Amino acid sequence: MAQAEIGAEQRASRIPRASAAALLRRGRSLAWIALTLALTLLGLMAVTFVVGRVVPIDPVIAVVGERASQAVYDAARIEMGLDDPVVVQFARYVMDVLRGDLGMSVTTQRPVMEDLARVFPATLEMATLGILIGVTLGVPMGVVAAARQGTLVDQVIRVLGLAGYAIPAFWIGLVGLVVFYASLGWVGGPGRIDFFLDGMVEPVTGLLLVDSLLAGDMESFGSAFSHIVLPATILGFFSLAYISRMTRSFMLEQLGQEYIVTARAKGAPERVVVWRHAFKPIRVQLVTVVGLSYAALLEGSVMIETVFSWPGIGNYLTNALLNADMNAVLGATLLIGVVFIAINKLSDLLYLIIDPRARS
């Protein structure tokens, strides 16, 4: 009896120690994540700072103009801090970024942070619809292509995937405008909304579809949807090509495993074999694929935004480059890098949700 009581006391004492050890491990893990995130952001700022110095564009000329006198040029250079040592300039740049100060845009004469807050939601809205289309269609297409390998269905899906890699974005955008807007009139034209409705919806989230619904303005919602559906579908097509191809590859690897042969030998229905046994293990891999595709849409939609006159970050970055607006270029580049980092960290969190084994 006494030994049983002693054993119970020892087990009870081990529980707090085990909980404390678990909390300590979790704290170390969070501290490591915070450190790696801070170092990654610092490296990103270092890259953008170096890019701003090696690009053959004089930021002083961009501000004062090519006809400014030497005295005006020298005064502006001193005022901008370009005469200070590089280390001092980088430290000042880091502090400004941490304060949310990305400088003034030469093109718009507004703070770059305000410009980015205005243009990024447009890209986010279009890219989000594009990735939803890509995932909704691309994943089932990849699964079906793998399950019916070598059939006509597989060949058609593979051709669509190759077309998504081969067809230039600007060409398919122009063709889409000519066919669906100019000829058939099924969708809205360039821009984000009809010009007579522009500014009618008060921006709350910056996402025009969401803001128009919140305001109960169905006319603006319909106009915004008609303008976004074509560019978002084109982005979704390019995303679909990548996602379906990778899904097919992952599924083919799983369908060749011994446990799939065993499941089929036991008489499991093909639908259960494909979707429950073969598809479940590839979900973690698909998280990475979808994350990379989404980040690519947020960063690489420059041609689509140019063709459709979409007021997003790609169009903003293009205009900044053409006008030698380095503050805007570096600010947009930094934002895109932060988006990539955020999506990678979100993917890591999804790993833990989808695959409990990763929590260890």
At 323-336, the pLDDT tens digits run: 777 788 888 888 88
pLDDT tens by residue, 212-243:
998 888 999 999 999 999 999 999 999 999 99
Q: Given a cut of 60, is residue 17 above it in pLDDT?
A: no
pLDDT band, very low/low/confident/very high, at 5 (cuts 50, 70, 90): low
In the numeric block, the tokens 């801090």 are attached to: 81
Identify which of 278, 279, 294, 280 has the alpha carbon closest to the alpha carbon of residue 243.
294
Please provide the distance, in angstroms rounded to a whole number, between the alpha carbons at the two ends of the chain: 38
pLDDT tens by residue, 171-207:
898 999 999 999 988 998 888 888 888 878 888 888 8
Residues 6+ apart with CB under 8 A from 256: none
Q: Given a cut of 80, is residue 306 above it in pLDDT?
A: yes
Report whether 207 contacts 124 (CB < 8 A): yes
Question: Which of 14, 30, 47 is the endpoint of a domain?
Answer: 47
Beta bridge pairs of residue 111: 104
Is residue 157 located within the same domain as residue 263? yes
Is residue 17 located within the same domain as residue 158? no
Report whether 185 contacts 150 (CB < 8 A): no
Q: Given a cut of 90, is residue 135 above it in pLDDT?
A: yes
d(CA 83, CA 89): 9
Mean pLDDT of 3-30: 60
Residue 285, domain extent: 119-359
Report whether 324 contacts 57 (CB < 8 A): yes
50: left (phi over 0), alpha (psi -120 to 50) or beta: alpha
pLDDT of residue 136: 93
State the amino acid at position 341 in one-letter form.
I
Residue 87 lies in a domain: no
Q: Given a cut of 90, is residue 25 above it in pLDDT?
A: no
Q: What is the CATH number of the domain that holds 257?
A: 1.10.3720.10
Is residue 29 located within the same domain as residue 127? no
pLDDT band, very low/low/confident/very high, at 120 (cuts 50, 70, 90): very high
Identify which of 260, 266, 264 has the alpha carbon closest to the alpha carbon of residue 279.
260
Mean pLDDT of the chain: 82
- Backbone angles phi and psi of 355, in degrees to 5: -120, 100
Residue 131 has which token pair? Answer: 């990735």
Is residue 270 located within the same domain as residue 351? yes
Residue 84 lies in a domain: no
Mean pLDDT of 247-251: 92
In the numeric block, the tokens 């890699």 are attached to: 165
| Domain tally, the chain | 2
Residues 6+ apart with CB under 8 A from 72: 64
Is residue 181 located within the same domain as residue 268? yes
Q: Given a cut of 90, is residue 141 above it in pLDDT?
A: yes
Mean pLDDT of 332-344: 84
Is residue 291 located within the same domain as residue 162? yes
Q: Given a cut of 80, is residue 87 above it in pLDDT?
A: yes
Residue 59 lies in a domain: no
d(CA 241, CA 132): 13
Residue 106 lies in a domain: no
Residue 322 lies in a domain: yes
Q: How far is CA 343 from the centre of its chain?
A: 6
pLDDT band, very low/low/confident/very high, at 255 (cuts 50, 70, 90): confident
Is residue 42 located within the same domain as residue 160? no
Residue 319 lies in a domain: yes
Report whether 301 contacts 126 (CB < 8 A): yes
Query: In this predicted model, which residue has the larger pLDDT, 354 or 222?
Result: 222
Residues in the chain: 360
What is the SS3 string spanning the chain? CHHHHHHHHHHHHHHHHHHHHHHHHHHHHHHHHHHHHHHHHHHHHHHHHHHHHHCCCCHHHHHHCCCCCHHHHHHHHHHCCCCCCHHHHHHHHHHHHHCCCCCECCCCCCEHHHHHHHHHHHHHHHHHHHHHHHHHHHHHHHHHHHHCCCCHHHHHHHHHHHHHHHCCHHHHHHHHHHHHHHHCCCCCCCCCCCHHHCCCCCCCCCCHHHHHHHHCCHHHHHHHHHHHHHHHHHHHHHHHHHHHHHHHHHHHHHHCCHHHHHHHHCCCCHHHHHHHHHCHHHHHHHHHHHHHHHHHHHHCCHHHHHHCCCCCHHHHHHHHHHCCCHHHHHHHHHHHHHHHHHHHHHHHHHHHHHCHHHHC
State the amino acid at position 297 in one-letter form.
L
- Backbone angles phi and psi of 111, in degrees to 5: -60, 140
Work out the number of other CB atoms within 10 angstroms of the CB of residue 1.
Answer: 5
Q: Given a cut of 90, is residue 82 above it in pLDDT?
A: no
Residue 212 lies in a domain: yes
Residue 165 has which token pair? Answer: 């890699």
Is residue 27 located within the same domain as residue 164? no
Residue 67 lies in a domain: no
Q: Given a cut of 80, is residue 283 above it in pLDDT?
A: yes
Is residue 18 located within the same domain as residue 137? no
Is residue 38 located within the same domain as residue 131? no
Is residue 126 located within the same domain as residue 43? no
State the amino acid at position 225 in one-letter form.
F
pLDDT band, very low/low/confident/very high, at 139 (cuts 50, 70, 90): very high
